[in-house]
Amino acid sequence: MEYAPQKLTREELEQEACFIHKISTEINSTLDLDEICAIVLRTMNEHFRFRHSLILLLDEDGKTLSVVASRGYKDAERGAKVPLGAGVIGLVAQKRRILRVGNLGRRRAYAATVRSQVERSGRAGELAEAPRLPGLPDVEAQIAIPLLIRDTLVGVFSVECADAPAFSERDESRAGIVGNLAASAIHNALLYRRLAAANAGLQKELTAVRASRGGAVGLDDIVGESRAMKQAKALIRKIATSPSSTVLITGENGTGKDLAAKAIHYLSSRASAPFMNITCSALPEALLESELFGHEKGAFTGAAGQKKGLFELAAGGSVFLDEIGEMSLVLQAKLLRFLEEKAFRRVGGTKDLRVDVRVIAATNRDLKAMVKEGSFREDLYYRLRVLPVELPPLRERREDLPLLARLFLEQYRTEFRKNVASISPEALAQLGRHPWPGNVRELKNAIERAVLLAEGPVLGADDFPALSAPADGDGGLRLPADGLRFEKLERDLVAAALERSGFNKSRAARLLGMDRDWLRHRAAKYGLDRPSPPGRPRD
Ligand SMILES: Nc1ncnc2c1ncn2[C@@H]1O[C@H](COP(=O)(O)OP(=O)(O)O)[C@@H](O)[C@H]1O
Ligand SMILES: [Mg+2]
């Protein structure tokens, strides 16, 4: 906006500068829309005796403006609407240009004369009803300023007066400056408000997701009716009722340690506070320490600001330390202190901080053996083991296999939208014979693969090719992923047995655990008779 050059005294210039400094500092001290508007209107009144002022913002439809703040009017004008193009304010919004009008009383008199003449001629119905605009009934002069961010209209700022016929040029320039300041402050406040609303929405969604599927785990999510699992579940339920004791969950990989830890958290009175987890083996010592305990600004290179650790972030909730057996002895000492005194220091910090969280630790290692060999602190071991939960390997609770298999079948058939309804008895028998070194996780993966590749509605033994031979390396063969030609295998085995027995068919048969007739028949079928002595052609 440009203003006509004005002659101001030095004193006036100083006043102006002082005012601009004051209002810009005040306006910039907040991101709250209502506060910003109140500051603008108050300062305009205090400094320039602009007693009647309004701030309107463009509505979302871009067709109307709504009053968001006013000063000096009798009625609360908040919410009153002005269409774009209507009256001085509407015109300013439409043209995006400042308007200064005066002597409105005279024009009102003129308009009244026109109206009474039209009425006298009996054509009053043709006079459109003028929209009721916010403002003084007896206004004499008005300045309205578009609030612009570049070319984008944010709203309109308007001042009115009833006791003088016109505003001065200087008034216009002052109002213009304030308008510019207000525009950017209001723009930022609106952005901030929108971001805050979006953020609140996301937070809500996150909580909802956590509460529904993503996070919360109940006892029903831990499937298993074996004695061992029933015991483990009963223990989990009991542990949950004592919300501060430390828990140690042990079990081979894939036995459900993560699941148990979550169940303990969500069944406890800490359920609505955060559940935070970290895998101790995933980070080097220094990083793990700062993840757990946080760090102060400048604690190490790259620590640009202060950061809260997991324990602080989980305040009131639970922290799950997975693979605790991989934690260094130094950190073990710090963890022990935290467990004993509930106190810790951020990395680089000098102050003791306190926070209330339950620690749930898990490991697939034999901590007791580690204590013996000196790689795990004995005191920490006993401190962690206040409430131990041991999850049995799947091979020791095979009766849970069909239940688990059905659970995962249901999950994956929904996820992959496959029409797979059941698992054949042969396939279940085969699952039952497998040793499951990877426990429930391995079973889950096997079912996922089978469902994904299944061609019919029933999963058969063929759908679990990786399980068809013993996998524990006790002399058994593994079926290659792409299958094999059984006849060739049989031929090779018969040939090897004959070779080793010096072509004695009875001994060769014994080597293979078959009878002599079986071997004789195969030897003939594959042409594996004693080779002809050298020099004599074979017939
Ligand atoms: N008893 C169970 N019932 C249902 N799902 C289970 C059970 N045990 C394990 N799972 C599932 O198997 C997978 C591996 O379990 P997880 O808790 O990560 O094992 P761990 O932490 O002991 O390696 C996860 O997807 C988990 O949901
Ligand atoms: Mg795990």
DSSP string across 186-204? HHHHHHHHHHHHHHHHHHH
**Confidence class of residue 144 from pLDDT cuts 50, 70 and 90?**
very high
Neighbours of 189 (CB within 10 A): 19
**pLDDT for 162 beyond 90:** no
Report the separation in Å between the CA atom of 326 and the middle of ligand 2, taken as the mean of its atom positions.
13
Please check whether residue 454 is in contact with residue 418, taking contact to mean a CB–CB distance below 8 angstroms.
yes
Neighbours of 421 (CB within 10 A): 12
The overall average pLDDT reported for the chain is 85
Report the separation in Å between the CA atom of 239 and the middle of ligand 2, taken as the mean of its atom positions.
19
Report the separation in Å between the CA atom of 414 and the middle of ligand 1, taken as the mean of its atom positions.
19
Tokens of 355: 């926070």
Cα end-to-end span (Å), the chain: 112
**pLDDT for 267 beyond 70:** yes
Q: Whose CA is nearest to atom 23 of ligand 1?
A: 254
**pLDDT for 209 beyond 90:** no
User: Does ligand 1 lie within 6 Å of residue 254's CB atom?
Assistant: yes
Tokens of 285: 């010592």
Q: pLDDT tens digits, residue range 452-469?
A: 888 899 999 989 987 765
What are the structural domains of the chain? 10-193 (3.30.450.40), 219-392 (3.40.50.300), 395-467 (1.10.8.60), 486-525 (1.10.10)
Report the separation in Å between the CA atom of 286 and the middle of ligand 2, taken as the mean of its atom positions.
22
Among all bound ligands, the one having the nearest atom to the CA of 233 is 1
Please check whether residue 286 is in contact with residue 301, taking contact to mean a CB–CB distance below 8 angstroms.
no
Report the separation in Å between the CA atom of 261 and the middle of ligand 2, taken as the mean of its atom positions.
9
- The rounded distance, in Å, linking the Cα atoms of 48 and 376 is 75
Report the separation in Å between the CA atom of 323 and the middle of ligand 2, taken as the mean of its atom positions.
8
User: Does ligand 1 lie within 6 Å of residue 258's CB atom?
Assistant: yes
Report the separation in Å between the CA atom of 476 and the middle of ligand 2, taken as the mean of its atom positions.
30
User: Does ligand 1 lie within 6 Å of residue 256's CB atom?
Assistant: yes
Among all bound ligands, the one having the nearest atom to the CA of 364 is 1
User: Does ligand 1 lie within 6 Å of residue 438's CB atom?
Assistant: no
Q: pLDDT tens digits, residue range 117-143?
A: 777 877 766 666 666 677 777 888 899
- The rounded distance, in Å, linking the Cα atoms of 235 and 264 is 10
Report the separation in Å between the CA atom of 92 and the middle of ligand 2, taken as the mean of its atom positions.
65
User: Does ligand 1 lie within 6 Å of residue 255's CB atom?
Assistant: yes
User: Does ligand 1 lie within 6 Å of residue 392's CB atom?
Assistant: no
Among all bound ligands, the one having the nearest atom to the CA of 258 is 1
Instruction: Tell me the average pLDDT across 375-383.
Output: 96
% the chain with pLDDT above 70: 89
Among all bound ligands, the one having the nearest atom to the CA of 253 is 1
User: Does ligand 1 lie within 6 Å of residue 251's CB atom?
Assistant: yes
Q: pLDDT tens digits, residue range 330-374?
A: 999 999 999 999 899 999 999 999 999 999 999 999 999 999 999
Q: Whose CA is nearest to atom 26 of ligand 1?
A: 256
- The rounded distance, in Å, linking the Cα atoms of 194 and 57 is 15
Residues ≥6 apart with Cβ < 8 Å to 64 = 58, 81, 82, 83, 84
Instruction: Tell me the average pLDDT across 67-71.
Output: 89
User: Does ligand 1 lie within 6 Å of residue 223's CB atom?
Assistant: yes
**pLDDT for 208 beyond 70:** no
Angle between helices 486-500 and 516-525 (to 10 degrees): 110
**pLDDT for 271 beyond 80:** yes
Dihedrals φ, ψ of 154, to 5°? Answer: -100, -40
Q: pLDDT tens digits, residue range 31-61?
A: 888 888 988 888 888 877 788 889 999 998 8
Q: pLDDT tens digits, residue range 283-325?
A: 888 889 999 999 998 777 666 788 899 999 999 999 999 999 9
pLDDT for position 154: 92
Q: pLDDT tens digits, residue range 388-444?
A: 999 999 999 999 999 999 999 999 999 888 999 999 999 999 999 999 999 999 999
Return the best residue to mutate from 219, 223, 258 for the ligand 1 pocket (most ligand atoms within 8 A of CB): 258
> Among all chains, which residue has been given the structure tokens 């079926």?
479
Residue 347 is given by DSSP the state B
Neighbours of 413 (CB within 10 A): 20
Neighbours of 120 (CB within 10 A): 9
Among all bound ligands, the one having the nearest atom to the CA of 232 is 1
**Confidence class of residue 4 from pLDDT cuts 50, 70 and 90?**
very low
Instruction: Tell me the average pLDDT across 231-248.
Output: 94
pLDDT for position 472: 47
Tokens of 274: 């955060």
Report the separation in Å between the CA atom of 460 and the middle of ligand 2, taken as the mean of its atom positions.
30
